[in-house]
């Protein structure tokens, strides 16, 4: 018989998380919701445009790897059970995002970031630290992350090839989901983070997005 989750030791939970991390990075992720690209036809044919779109969607895929890891790191160290559950619920939407981006990158005949294990491990550690700072700070971290992600996705809507309807539909759905995650975190008591922390988050994200575009 499985021990109840509450009685799992920290070591058990770390092993569970390691296993989840491996599966997120290595296995094909399955979305619970249909791909927003739907039946919209493939319209990007120019090789340069396809390569650029693939780079952008690879960045978004890396971002979703990071999002998964942040949420699970935060859930690991969350104090309050309701907060923990809401973090895990948001992480389920991120699995959809991950699967959709992965699918789009492959449609564009490209591959996801080779550095995915690094994005996962680094983000998991950051998430766990945010959780240790207390639930209201951790929720504030979700709200700030999501608002930066929404801005980033908006820039991709400008940068993607104008005719890339399939990528655009995915990015738009992600934006809507991230807005909901951010609003929920704020309503649940997320507090504003100090400006230096926000700047640090932005800087870290910039390193990841620039690298994942290429590698």
Shortest distance, CB of residue 212 to Fe ion, whole angstroms?
14
State which H helix or E strand residue 72 sits in: helix 47-77
Q: Is 63 or 161 the residue whose CB approaches Fe ion more closely?
A: 63
Cβ nearer to Fe ion, comparing 50 with 152: 152
SS3 of residue 33 by DSSP: coil
What residues have CB less than 8 Å from 116, skipping those under 6 apart?
25, 62, 65
Q: Smaller CB distance to Fe ion: residue 50 or 94?
A: 94
CB closer to Fe ion, 54 vs 171: 171
Using CA atoms, how far apart are residues 208 and 203, in angstroms rounded to an integer? 9
Q: Rounded distance, CA 164 to CA 168, Å?
A: 6
The structure tokens listed for 153 are 């996705």
Q: Give the Cα separation of 65 and 70 in Å (integer).
A: 9
User: How far apart are CB 146 and Fe ion at their closest, in Å?
Assistant: 5
Helix, coil or strand: residue 34:
coil
Q: Which residues contact 118 (CB under 8 A, 6 or more apart)?
A: none
Residues forming contacts to Fe ion in the complex (CB under 5 A) are 64, 67, 94, 97, 178, 181
CA pair distance 40, 178, nearest whole angstrom: 23
CB of 99 to Fe ion, least distance (A): 11
The burial of 65, by beta-carbon neighbours within 10 Å (0-12 exposed, 13-18 middle, 19 or more buried), is given as buried
Torsion, CA 55, CA 24, CA 63, CA 94, rounded to 10? 120
Q: How far is the CB of 90 from Fe ion (least distance, A)?
A: 5
Residue 10 CB, shortest distance to Fe ion, in Å, is: 26
Closer to Fe ion by CB, 156 or 181: give it.
181
CA atoms within 13 A on the CB side of 172: 11
Cβ 15 to Fe ion shortest distance, Å: 25
Residue nearer to Fe ion on the CB measure, 76 or 95: 95
């Amino acid at each position: 018989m499985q021990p109840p989750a509450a009685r799992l030791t920290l070591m058990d939970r770390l092993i569970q998380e390691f296993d989840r991390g491996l599966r997120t990075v290595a296995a094909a992720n399955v979305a619970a919701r249909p791909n927003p690209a739907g039946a919209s036809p493939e319209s990007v044919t120019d090789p340069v445009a396809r390569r650029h779109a693939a780079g952008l969607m690879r960045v978004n895929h890396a971002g979703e790897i990071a999002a998964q890891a942040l949420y699970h790191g935060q859930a690991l160290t969350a104090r309050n059970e309701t907060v923990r559950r809401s973090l895990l619920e948001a992480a389920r939407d991120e699995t959809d995002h991950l699967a959709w981006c992965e699918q789009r990158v492959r449609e564009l005949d490209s591959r996801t970031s080779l550095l995915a294990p690094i994005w996962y491990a680094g983000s998991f550690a950051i998430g766990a630290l945010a959780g240790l700072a207390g639930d209201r700070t951790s929720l504030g971290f979700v709200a700030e992350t999501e608002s930066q992600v929404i801005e980033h996705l908006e820039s991709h809507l400008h940068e993607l090839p104008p005719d890339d309807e399939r990528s655009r539909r995915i990015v738009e759905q992600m934006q809507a989901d991230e807005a909901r995650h951010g609003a929920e975190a704020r309503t649940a008591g997320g507090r504003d983070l100090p400006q230096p922390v926000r700047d640090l988050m932005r800087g870290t994200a910039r390193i990841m997005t620039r690298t994942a575009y290429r590698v």
